[in-house]
Amino acid sequence: MRRTTKIACIVAAWGLLVGPWAACSDDSGSGQADAAVDARVLPDVSPMEPDPDFDEDYVPVGPESTVTTLVQTERPRYGYSQKIVDVFDRPRIPMEEVGIRYGQPGEAHLERDDLGVGDATATAPRSLLYFAHLSDVQLIDTQSPAYVASNKYTNLGDVLPAYHAHGPATPVLFDSAVQTALRFGTDRPFDFMIHTGDAIEDNQGNELGWFLTIISGGEVSADSGALDDPVPGPDNDLFDPFVAQGVPPDVPFYNVIGNHDIEVNGNFPNQMILEANEPDILAKIAPSLEDLDARLPGVGTADHAPAVLPAAIMPAFTMADTTFEPELWLGEEEIGGLESGPVVADSTREFLSGCQYIEAHFGVGGSPVGHGFRQEARTSCQGWYTAEPASGVPIRLLVLDTGPYIGGDQGTIAPPLNPDGSVDESRRGDPVHDQIAWLQAELERAEADNVAVIVASHHPSKSLAMSGILSSLKLFLDMDDPEIADLWNRNFIEPAEALSGQDLRELLTGFPNVIAHLVGHSHENRVLAVCPDGSYVTGSEYLEGSRCPDPPEGRGPENGYWEVMAPSVRDFPNQFRITEVVDLGDGSGVIYSTLVLPQGGGGGLVAHGLFMALLQHQLDGAAYQEKTGSLADRNVALRFRWPSALLAPVAATSAATRIESLTTLTEPAPGLPPMPQWQ
33: pLDDT strictly greater than 60: no
443: pLDDT strictly greater than 90: yes
621: pLDDT strictly greater than 80: no
408: pLDDT strictly greater than 90: no
Please tell me the predicted confidence (pLDDT) of residue 622: 64
Residue with more model confidence, 595 or 161: 595
Interval 234-258: pLDDT, tens: 999 999 999 999 999 999 999 999 9
Helix (H, G, I), strand (E, B), or coil: what is residue 536?
strand
Which residues, 6+ apart, have CB-to-CB distance to 378 below 8 Å?
355, 358, 359, 362
Expressed in percent and rounded to 5, the helix, strand and coil fractions of the chain are 30, 15, 55
CA distance 326 to 90: 13
Please tell me the predicted confidence (pLDDT) of residue 7: 46
Please tell me the predicted confidence (pLDDT) of residue 585: 94
Query: Got the DSSP string for 94-109?
Result: -GGGTT--EEEE--PP
| Confidence class for position 48, pLDDT limits 50, 70, 90 | confident
Please tell me the predicted confidence (pLDDT) of residue 625: 66
Measured CA to CA in angstroms, residue 377 lies from 253, 358, 382, 383 at distances of 17, 7, 5, 6
Averaged over 432-444, what is the pLDDT? 97
Query: CA 590: distance to chain centroid?
Result: 25
CA distance 528 to 539: 7
pTM: 0.94
Paired strand residues for 529: 537, 562
Least confident of 73-87, 163-177, 242-256: 73-87
What's the one-letter identity of residue 340?
A: S
Interval 325-351: pLDDT, tens: 989 999 889 999 999 999 999 999 999
Closest C-alpha to 525, from 635, 632, 636, 628: 628
Please tell me the predicted confidence (pLDDT) of residue 531: 98
Residue with more model confidence, 28 or 604: 604
CA distance 47 to 55: 20
Interval 273-296: pLDDT, tens: 999 999 999 999 888 888 888 899
Element (H, E) at 182: helix 170-182
Among residues of the chain, what percentage have pLDDT more than 90? 75
Please tell me the predicted confidence (pLDDT) of residue 123: 80
Please tell me the predicted confidence (pLDDT) of residue 268: 92
129: pLDDT strictly greater than 80: yes
Closest C-alpha to 43, from 8, 84, 81, 87: 87
Torsion over CA: 165, 170, 173, 177 (sign):
positive
Paired strand residues for 581: 129, 591
Average pLDDT of the residues of the chain: 90
Which residues, 6+ apart, have CB-to-CB distance to 610 below 8 Å?
74, 101, 173, 574, 597, 598
Residue with more model confidence, 20 or 433: 433
